[in-house]
Amino acid sequence: MADSQPPKDRWSSQAYSASASFVPQLTKTLLRYLDPQPTDRVLDVGCGDGKFTENFLPSVGFVLGVDSSPSMIESAKKDYSGPKTEFRVVDCRYLEQETSIVNGTWDKVVSNAALHWILRDASTRISTLRAIHTALKPGGAFVFEMGGHGNVAEITAAILGVLVHHGVPIEKARESVPWFFPSESWMREALENLGFQVEKLEIEYRPTKATTGPDGGIEGWIRLMGAQMLETLPENERDGAVKEACDILETILTRHEDGSKWLGYVRLRGVARKS
Ligand code: BEZ
């Protein structure tokens, strides 16, 4: 059992689709690196609502998807339950405590757009990566994509600025940033220290068009992804703060040719093998 409270569940599959439906879609390179095989048993770390899992599910033997959000796991079970799948609520900060999972039987561990949340807590960062190493069979591969250093920098800076403007001390504002976006060199060193052979590791600047539907756009993104930062403010100041952040970002994120808004995503992607 995890020795801390379960994290507050701020997720819903619907809100995630409204503001970030592109996340499970922009995964062509990651899927190529995963190279799914019919005999593969795959552990999907931070599987969310299973929409990324769906991309490779038909090509593998079995997938266990784990995620800390009960609502996302419920959604994954509803949409993708079957003989080849299992979905479980697991706080992956404490993955090493899940002895029925961390047992050296997995051909592949995959993770898309989740590790920057899971590795946020510096005190459990390395133990989570160690658990992934332990979970794999010898020769098994850890294939991941996450935010890399500089990811969504404009949005982070805008929200931090707004919080400080509303009187939140800068240290408290910084602590509320819910992500860890490592550089290539941090990740390489961490993986090699755990005994992984790093086969691929790359950073890609990939500006990504914001969604435009109801509850989406930059505003929807900030409300959902930046919820922990907004929670440093009294409830009655949050709507105003979101509007201020959107106003600050308007010039930076808007393209002149068509008025579309683009998020400054930076991807850190890699393949690391257990020898
Ligand atoms: C990302 O996929 O890079 C990301 C998603 C949500 C919040 C921050 C980063």
Give the relative orientation of helices 235-253 and 217-225 as an angle to the nearest 10 degrees. Answer: 130
Count up the domains in the chain and report the number: 1
pLDDT in tens, 170-193: 999 999 999 999 999 999 999 999
**Is 6 within a domain?**
no
- Between the CA of residue 6 and those of 10, 68, 89, 266, what are the distances in Å? 12, 8, 10, 29
Residue 23 has pLDDT above 80, yes or no: no
Averaged pLDDT for residues 74-87: 98
Give the pLDDT confidence score for residue 15 in this predicted structure. 78
With the most atoms of ligand 1 within 8 angstroms of its CB, the residue from 145, 228, 265 to mutate is: 265
Higher pLDDT residue, 233 or 20?
233
Averaged pLDDT for residues 21-31: 84
CA of 138 relative to ligand 1 center, distance in Å: 31
Give the pLDDT confidence score for residue 1 in this predicted structure. 37
Dist. CA 247–CA 139, nearest whole Å: 50
Give the pLDDT confidence score for residue 3 in this predicted structure. 46
**Is 4 within a domain?**
no
Averaged pLDDT for residues 35-42: 98
pLDDT in tens, 96-151: 999 999 999 999 999 999 999 999 999 999 999 999 999 999 999 999 999 999 99
CATH number at residue 25: 3.40.50.150
pLDDT in tens, 253-264: 999 999 999 999
**Is 58 within a domain?**
yes
pLDDT in tens, 191-202: 999 999 999 999
- Between the CA of residue 178 and those of 106, 215, 231, 234, 250, what are the distances in Å? 29, 21, 11, 18, 23
**Is 22 within a domain?**
yes
**Is 73 within a domain?**
yes
Give the pLDDT confidence score for residue 7 in this predicted structure. 80
Would you give the distance in Å from CA 186 to the centre of its chain? 17
> What atom in ligand 1 is closest to the CA of residue 265?
3
Domain that holds residue 139: 13-274
Give the N- to C-terminal CA distance of the chain in Å, as an integer. 29
The residue whose CA is least distant from atom 6 of ligand 1 is 225
Higher pLDDT residue, 35 or 23?
35
> What atom in ligand 1 is closest to the CA of residue 266?
3
Nearest to 11 by CA among 28, 23, 29, 25: 23
**Is 209 within a domain?**
yes
Dist. CA 166–CA 171, nearest whole Å: 14
CA of 83 relative to ligand 1 center, distance in Å: 31
Task: Please list the alpha-helical segments (H only) found in the chain.
Answer: 13-20, 28-34, 53-56, 70-80, 115-118, 125-135, 153-165, 170-175, 184-193, 217-225, 227-230, 235-253
Q: What's the mean per-residue pLDDT of the chain?
A: 95
**Is 44 within a domain?**
yes
**Is 55 within a domain?**
yes
